[in-house]
Chains A and B, each alone.
Chain A
Amino acid sequence: MPSGTNRIIVTVIGRDQVGIIAAVSAVLAEAHANIVDISQTTLQEFFAMIMMADLEQATLPFADIKQRLNAKGEAMGLRIDAQHEAVFNYMHRV
């Protein structure tokens, strides 16, 4: 990996509702992914939550975690994505 770290950025975009953080946290906890930071904001009328998680101790590969997050998003009517931290590092930091 070009970045050297094993952190991911999880983004949740959609209408605000009860239990979003709990649901995403549950998926990450099941995979032993450690949440290192959370922030939330509004993007036009939509709610956006951003979470950084460390996969160093994770028991599942990134692809599986991502798939579980996508599935959870679909079930809740939200768009949940996960991308490797390197994407943001490359784009926004020189």
Chain B
Amino acid sequence: MPMQFSAQEIIETIRMVQMENLDIRTITMGISLRDCAHPDLPVVAERVYDKICRVASRLVPVGEEIARDYGIPIINTRLSVTPIALVAESAGAGDYTVVARAMDRAAREVGVNFIGGFSALVQKGTTTGDRALLASIPEALAVTERVCGSVNVGTTRAGINMDAVAQLGRIICDTAARTADRHGIGCAKLVVFCNAVDDNPFMAGAFHGIGEPECVVNVGVSGPGVVCMAVKKEPDADFGALASIIKRTAFKVTRMGELVGRAASAKLAVPFGIVDLSLAPTPAQGDSVARILEAMGLERVGTHGSTAALALLNDAVKKGGAMASSYVGGLSGAFIPVSEDEGMIEAARMGAISLDKLEAMTCVCSVGLDMIAVPGDTPASTIAAIIADEAAIGMINAKTTAVRIIPAPGRTVGEVVEFGGLLGTAPVMAVHRWSSAGFIGRGGRIPAPLQGLGN
């Protein structure tokens, strides 16, 4: 039987993997913990540990097997679980840190580097479990290594819970203080969402939504390097041609996600959930979203034109990816985390990009203000106001937005915070010095917008 591929096609694939950092960013197994509820909190923790270890025991070996068989690097294998506020609530009020510790132990036991789901959904108000979880976040993120938390504070349908927003400003400051010896790294594991999605495979915001099955496999693809090289090859292409180049590349990248997701699903005998089309950068050279925007003709990311360039990129990635997979979901868009993107780090260091420009860029991409370090003395009300702005963008535009911000203890603008590994390097960025305290102090809920009345 003759080979059905041309040499050019085969070399293209090999080049993408070996030279342009094409990889599968994460295989994330979602596990329902709804059956772990119990009136006694230590029993909840024990059940959580046992179930995760039982259900996820083969995840890491299967990931390694797939990476070997297909020759596609799989960077992370991770877990997402039912929001713990729901799981632990039948135990009433109390310190849910014991559950976070159980998640951390289980993650270590099965060999995943992160487990998401120390979470609560409070867009319209809080229950006993939600309040206990919120109160436990600073301690839980300080004493665990692999646990990630998230809180959904708004939706297009519900509006924005401004009491929760104000509280999260304080929680973020407290979390930074408790991990001050590690530059406030606890905050890097906490995401505040508007319109959070149930099937996001990416950390730190992953949780296993309440409409999800017992267990599911979701895949996050990557490949900013592949897109960047494709864009660089056509410096004179007009915007139509540019969009087309990105679409074709995104299609190919997403097909790898589809292949890996289906293989993992078959090997684990777990349903295949979704492929998340996000372009997710890493601090490595040649794996940057910022560099794609610069390859389009911007001298530095953050300058005028960055929002338009990102809008084109984000849309073309979705169009190419949507056809490549039978189930697209998660966040699906370009990520613009500052500390995790080599091009963003450089732009922030030289002052080319500001918090305000990043906020504007989040209007046209997924997901939000991500991995941004601000001065350690930033008031909680200012952090809450940053969250409120971002949540408003999500609420009005019916899209997911998020904030992952680190008030770096003892640091000021111009200094740099080194988190290391995938979390990267964060230059401390300036915030506005005028107070938002009066606004944040009002309390209550911002009503759902007209956009929420879609029926």
Chain A residues within 8 Å of B, Cβ to Cβ: 1-2, 9, 11, 13, 36-37, 39-41, 43, 48, 50, 52, 62-63, 66, 79, 81-84, 86-94
A11 touches B263 (CB 8 A): no
A86 touches B259 (CB 8 A): yes
Closest to A66 in B: B68
Quick check: is B71 within 8 A (CB to CB) of the other chain?
yes
B3 touches A52 (CB 8 A): yes
B14 touches A81 (CB 8 A): yes
Which 5 interchain pairs have the tightest Cβ spacing? A83-B71, A37-B3, A90-B259, A90-B255, A41-B7
A2-B263, A52-B3, A82-B71 known; A91 and B255 CB under 8 Å?
yes
Q: What is the number of contacts between chain A and chain B, taking CB atoms within 8 Å?
A: 76
Set of chain A residues within 8 Å of B3, measured between Cβ atoms:
9, 36-37, 39, 50, 52
B7 touches A39 (CB 8 A): yes
Set of chain B residues within 8 Å of A86, measured between Cβ atoms:
70, 259, 263
A21 to B70, CA, bound (A): 22
A87 touches B70 (CB 8 A): yes
Closest to B262 in A: A2
Chain B interface residue count, Cβ-Cβ cutoff 8 angstroms: 27
Quick check: is B181 within 8 A (CB to CB) of the other chain?
no
B72 touches A50 (CB 8 A): no
Per a CB cutoff under 8 Å, which of A1, A2, A37, A92 touches B9?
A: A92
A91 touches B7 (CB 8 A): no
Set of chain A residues within 8 Å of B7, measured between Cβ atoms:
39-41, 48, 50
The DSSP consensus for interface residues of chain A is strand
Quick check: is B269 within 8 A (CB to CB) of the other chain?
no
A92 to B69, CA, bound (A): 18
Quick check: is B258 within 8 A (CB to CB) of the other chain?
yes
Closest to A13 in B: B14
Set of chain B residues within 8 Å of A11, measured between Cβ atoms:
10-11, 14
Quick check: is B434 within 8 A (CB to CB) of the other chain?
no
A3 to B312, CA, bound (A): 34
Shortest Cβ distance from B247 into chain A, in angstroms?
Answer: 13
A62 touches B69 (CB 8 A): yes
- Which of A11, A13, A91: most chain B CB closer than 10 A? A91
Identify 28 residue pairs between A and B in the complex whose beta-carbon atoms are under 8 Å apart, listed by A's number. A2-B263, A2-B266, A9-B10, A13-B14, A36-B2, A36-B3, A37-B1, A41-B8, A48-B7, A50-B3, A50-B11, A63-B69, A66-B68, A81-B14, A81-B71, A84-B71, A86-B70, A86-B259, A87-B259, A88-B5, A88-B10, A90-B255, A91-B255, A92-B5, A92-B9, A92-B13, A92-B252, A94-B323
Set of chain B residues within 8 Å of A36, measured between Cβ atoms:
1-3
A24 to B183, CA, bound (A): 52
Set of chain A residues within 8 Å of B2, measured between Cβ atoms:
36-37
A2-B262, A63-B68 known; A87 and B1 CB under 8 Å?
no
Closest to B255 in A: A90
Shortest Cβ distance from A44 into chain B, in angstroms?
Answer: 10
Closest to B3 in A: A37
A91 touches B1 (CB 8 A): no
Closest to B22 in A: A91
B11 touches A1 (CB 8 A): no
Shortest Cβ distance from A46 into chain B, in angstroms?
Answer: 10
B266 touches A43 (CB 8 A): no
A2 to B1, CA, bound (A): 20
Quick check: is B107 within 8 A (CB to CB) of the other chain?
no
A65 to B266, CA, bound (A): 23
Set of chain A residues within 8 Å of B11, measured between Cβ atoms:
11, 41, 43, 48, 50
Shortest Cβ distance from B11 into chain A, in angstroms?
Answer: 6
Set of chain A residues within 8 Å of B14, measured between Cβ atoms:
11, 13, 81
A1-B263, A36-B1 known; A84 and B70 CB under 8 Å?
yes
A2-B266, A11-B10, A37-B3 known; A87 and B258 CB under 8 Å?
no
A81 to B11, CA, bound (A): 11
Quick check: is B256 within 8 A (CB to CB) of the other chain?
yes
Closest to B267 in A: A1
A1-B263, A88-B5, A92-B5 known; A50 and B68 CB under 8 Å?
no
A2-B259, A39-B7, A43-B11 known; A87 and B266 CB under 8 Å?
no
Per a CB cutoff under 8 Å, which of A37, A39, A43, A83 touches B70?
A: A83
A90 touches B256 (CB 8 A): yes
